[in-house]
Structure 1
Amino acid sequence: MFIQLLTSLFLFALPFLFLIITKSKKPSTPPSPSIFPKSYPIIGSYFAVKSNQSNRMQWITQILQSSPSATFTLHHLFGHRQILTANPANVQHILKTHFDNYQKGPFSRSTLFDFLGNGIFNVDGESWKFQRQVSSHEFNTKSLRKFVQTVVDTELHDRLIPMFSEAASAKTVLDLQEILQRFAFDNVCKIAFGFDPACLLPSLPQAQFAEAFEDATNLSSQRFRTFHSIAWKIKRFFNIGSEKRLNIAVFQVRDFAKKIVREKKQELADKSSLESVDLLSRFLQSGHSDENFVTDIVISFILAGRDTTSAALTWFFWLVHKHPEVENEILKEIKDKSDMPVFEEVKDMVYTHASLCECMRLYPPVPADSKLAMDDDILPDGTVVKKGTLMTYHPYAMGRMEKIWGSDWADFKPERWLERDEAGKWSFVGRDPYTYPVFQAGPRICLGKEMAFLQMKRVVAGVLRRYKVVPAVEDGFQPEFLVYLTSKMKGGFPVRVEDRGQLD
């Protein structure tokens, strides 16, 4: 406690220390303005980071856009360094070539442990390998077909479409972001755990777990933005402020997840064989039946399935409304594919797929991700990496790099992902995952990538075939990109739904 007290006193004295340092280094000529933050002894670029806290994504993007190698070293308190990069060669080096040297590490692990525990997104080594191996069985073609044809289609036709139909008739305003989160939450629980939380009932029931999950996600991510980990650790020790709220939220989340685990255990004990094997059943039958460990797995997969696809779709419907020419192309594709079976329809929606990729280029569900360097290294662009350096690759900034996407990088342009054959038919032209690391890359590339695309395309086809989604906002409104563990649209996404009649 004595060391913690000294640290707190030092942090309190930072503003005064800053004034002393800056006064002792008066320049003889006025400094030229620069996007690159100044670094001072002991405090590093603390004040630049602090002053750009509310627009951190945009600030870092401008720094990386201005850097010749799209890489910059940010100096934090007490000599800690963070290397930020939007350089595809560096990203490949970190995520693949030198994968073993760049891990989650103790900093990220301790920051997220209360929420994610030993789940797949918060561990390295053998535990990560085991969880990934067991999980991979859930993403074969048979499982994907079942997911689209039964889980997603049922949720779409029995819950989402009737809700939109009622809203269109009553001319009511819906928060599309919340609706999509509920939709995705129901889906991930059904496919991964064989459990239906029924969050998307017409009454939009108050879901204590969903609210607690949102709080736990947001409050956990706030830990990364504190000036030093000692600040949130002191609050946690005394159980005050944001840490008290996080403690309450995590308790509610874990209590809910444990109930799912216990019910599945009982189901497995009561039946000699199950009609279908879900992800949770696979883990419980793999010899790892420790309740806390399996609970961590449940929470991690809810985070992956609920927040990422709903975030991508929220921004997608905003961009499509802003670009009617894109919406018309999507509608044309939906009409052309309407006679196909559901699974084949969504797999073959090339233009819609390109539109979703373009949306996530500009608004990635996970806008930045960090690893810790286990040993000294040198990146392909010559950047020197010291052991213990935090390495952050930046999908949000990478989607805004002229060197990667050209001078029209700011335009929403699905055609950049497409080319026409001699018959005039579109074909998809992907980018390598190190240029477009929206789903990570290398050994930790997202297992659910194809499942996410299938779900999103099915929602797009099911909704736009019948309805026009119109933002219920004032002219000139520009939504704000909000970053927690995943991205959000600040304040939700209010929309009105207009019936357009069946396309087919």
Structure 2
Amino acid sequence: MTTTITQPKVYPLFGSDLTLRKEGKRNLQWLSDLVKASPTATFILHRSLGRRSVISGNPANVEHILKTRFSNYVKGSTFFDTLSDFLGRGIFNADGDTWKFQRKVASHEFNTKSLRNFIEHVVDTELLDRLVPILASAAQEDKTLDFQDILQRFSFDNICKIAFGFDAECLTPSEERKEFAIAFDEATQISSRRFHEPFSLIWKVKRALNIGSEKRMRMAVKVVHEYANNIVREKKKELKKKASLESMDMLSRFLSSGHSDEDFVRDMVISFILAGKDTTSSALTWFFWLLSKNPHVEKEIVNEIMEKSEAPVYDEVKEMVYTNAALCESMRLYPPVAVDSKEAVDDDVLPDGTVVKKGMMVTYHVYAMGRMESIWGDDWAEFKPERWLEKDESGKWKFVGRDPFTYPVFQAGPRICLGKEMAFMQMKRLVAAILRRFIVIPAAEDGDPQYVGFLTTLMEGGFPVKILHRHG
């Protein structure tokens, strides 16, 4: 059955924002349907007060925005104003020289030596000392866990160790979340909801009056900033005491580069926590849910894990080709960042002929692109890791990547994600550690969970699971 998609009605003053608001948590799917229904996979969304936005899932347009005319498409003033209370001048919220500096310093954290250290020490310690015992206990006691929450805590601890050289101890047997982690989640969600207000004046008035969600936002940001500033001060003291540190975390690198402005350094680190915390946990949440629906894929992954079990940890994760393909396939259907927007510096015309005026927001819809028949074929709805693989001469699987403008899950062009390889290695190591020992079974009622988007995406209501020991 074919569903007819009609363009949203445009109202005076409000544009299509009333429809967007009415769709609520479904607005990601609604916008995705509009992109897929367009002959060029691009349409103009009329916003309030006469503003217009371009929404596209066209790979040629994505390449134009992220690479060809990179300098013309920036984060811009709207993005900065909306997120600056929380993210300040951090890389996630920065353009120009501020962005370039942070990217250059951070790039040192993603070399082979750092990756090996991250996997063999940071991730493995977190897995074996904390995560595996929690899952073993849940299996023993037949306890239901919110697996999304567990994965968020795991990622939070890991990124704090990389970013701060600090153990947040969020993943512990205790049911209580650390104040910093709770405040971080609240600030992320309220910041994201600001984008969905029909008029920015609404949240700005609430902020000025310190009421409602903006009051909670102010309190959450205060907790995050104070906590992060304390860590920056402690790291400064540590650097003064030691002539050189054996391992340089990201915070040490920033401070050693000569930047003494505490707030600026704090903003940089908060952005990296945001980039590394919820993206990997979101990807893994949907990955384990998809495995539960596709036992033949889980069987292939378990076979691969068992074959590699004698290999050193770093080599094991490097060689998990089928698992790598399954993760790519999972993120195609459920990307951790569903949409990304840029602001046009000057007038432009996209490759499909769409006219862009100075100041317009241009959004590429990653979620829609992962579900387009024109890109993935008529079997796009299937969870099929094999679409990323081919057999080599010896009959072994060989990974075949897609170009990043067709699959912009990690962005593309000059802003392509620095932590892409680190994310894959962390996820593969976690998958190996869990599936070698346990079976993860969804405990919720039948039916697909809701995919909801903030700055990163979540499974609404969490992911309740039962953990069983894997025998044999």
Normalised to the residue count of structure 2, the TM-score between the two structures is 0.98
| Cα drift, residue 271 of structure 1 | 1.2
Residue aligning to 1:488:
458
Residue aligning to 1:259:
230
CA distance in 2 between partners of 1:42 and 1:116 (Å): 31
CA distance in 2 between partners of 1:468 and 1:53 (Å): 34
Residue aligning to 1:325:
296
Query: Over residues 188-233 of structure 1, what are the superposed CA-to-partner deviations in whole Å (9 max), with x where a residue is unaligned?
Result: 1112211111111222443111111110000000000001101100
Gaps of 5+ in 2: none
Contact residue 314 and residue 493 of structure 1 kept, 8 A? yes
Contact residue 115 and residue 250 of structure 1 kept, 8 A? yes
Residue aligning to 2:160:
189
CA distance in 1 between partners of 2:134 and 2:346 (Å): 54
Selected match of 1:180 from 151, 161, 171 = 151
| Cα drift, residue 379 of structure 1 | 0.3
Question: Aligned to 2:467, what secondary structure does the other structure show?
Answer: strand
Residue aligning to 2:424:
453
Residue aligning to 1:477:
447
CA distance in 2 between partners of 1:392 and 1:374 (Å): 14
Q: Which has the larger radius of gyration?
A: 1
Query: What code does the residue aligned with 1:496 have?
Result: K
The 5-angstrom pairing of residues 405-484 of structure 1 reads 405-474=376-445, 476-484=446-454
CA distance in 1 between partners of 2:62 and 2:289 (Å): 29
Query: What code does the residue aligned with 2:217 have?
Result: L
CA distance in 1 between partners of 2:25 and 2:306 (Å): 43
The 5-angstrom pairing of residues 74-473 of structure 1 reads 74-473=45-444
CA distance in 1 between partners of 2:346 and 2:177 (Å): 48
Residue aligning to 1:8:
none
Contact residue 339 and residue 365 of structure 2 kept, 8 A? yes
Query: What code does the residue aligned with 1:479 have?
Result: P
CA distance in 2 between partners of 1:397 and 1:33 (Å): 16
Structure 1 stretches of at least 4 aligned residues deviating more than 4 Å after TM superposition: none
Query: Over residues 313-357 of structure 1, what are the superposed CA-to-partner deviations in whole Å (9 max), with x where a residue is unaligned?
Result: 000000001100000000110011111111010011000000000
CA distance in 2 between partners of 1:188 and 1:278 (Å): 10
Contact residue 355 and residue 413 of structure 1 kept, 8 A? yes
| Cα drift, residue 39 of structure 1 | 2.1
CA distance in 1 between partners of 2:246 and 2:18 (Å): 58
CA distance in 2 between partners of 1:211 and 1:449 (Å): 26
Residue aligning to 1:59:
30
Question: Aligned to 2:214, what secondary structure does the other structure show?
Answer: helix
Query: What code does the residue aligned with 1:196 have?
Result: D
Normalised to the residue count of structure 1, the TM-score between the two structures is 0.92
Query: Over residues 339-387 of structure 1, what are the superposed CA-to-partner deviations in whole Å (9 max), with x where a residue is unaligned?
Result: 1111010011000000000000010000000000010000000001111
| Cα drift, residue 254 of structure 1 | 0.6
Query: What code does the residue aligned with 2:312 have?
Result: P
Query: What code does the residue aligned with 1:485 have?
Result: L
Question: Aligned to 1:416, what secondary structure does the other structure show?
Answer: helix
CA distance in 2 between partners of 1:78 and 1:479 (Å): 35
Contact residue 370 and residue 393 of structure 1 kept, 8 A? yes
CA distance in 2 between partners of 1:243 and 1:320 (Å): 39
CA distance in 2 between partners of 1:34 and 1:395 (Å): 19
Moved more, 45-54 or 214-223: 45-54
| Cα drift, residue 118 of structure 1 | 0.3
CA distance change for structure 1 residues 463 and 33 in 2, over 3 Å: closer, same or farther?
closer
Moved more, 34-43 or 294-303: 34-43
CA distance in 2 between partners of 1:248 and 1:141 (Å): 39
CA distance in 2 between partners of 1:80 and 1:52 (Å): 19
Query: Over residues 133-173 of structure 1, what are the superposed CA-to-partner deviations in whole Å (9 max), with x where a residue is unaligned?
Result: 00000000000000000000111001111111111111101
Query: What code does the residue aligned with 2:319 have?
Result: D
Contact residue 86 and residue 191 of structure 2 kept, 8 A? yes
CA distance in 2 between partners of 1:327 and 1:114 (Å): 42
CA distance in 1 between partners of 2:29 and 2:165 (Å): 40
Query: What code does the residue aligned with 1:402 have?
Result: E
Contact residue 375 and residue 406 of structure 2 kept, 8 A? yes
Tell me the C-alpha RMSD between the 2 structures.
Answer: 1.2
Contact residue 14 and residue 198 of structure 2 kept, 8 A? no
The count of corresponding residues between Structure 1 and Structure 2 is: 470
Contact residue 223 and residue 229 of structure 1 kept, 8 A? yes
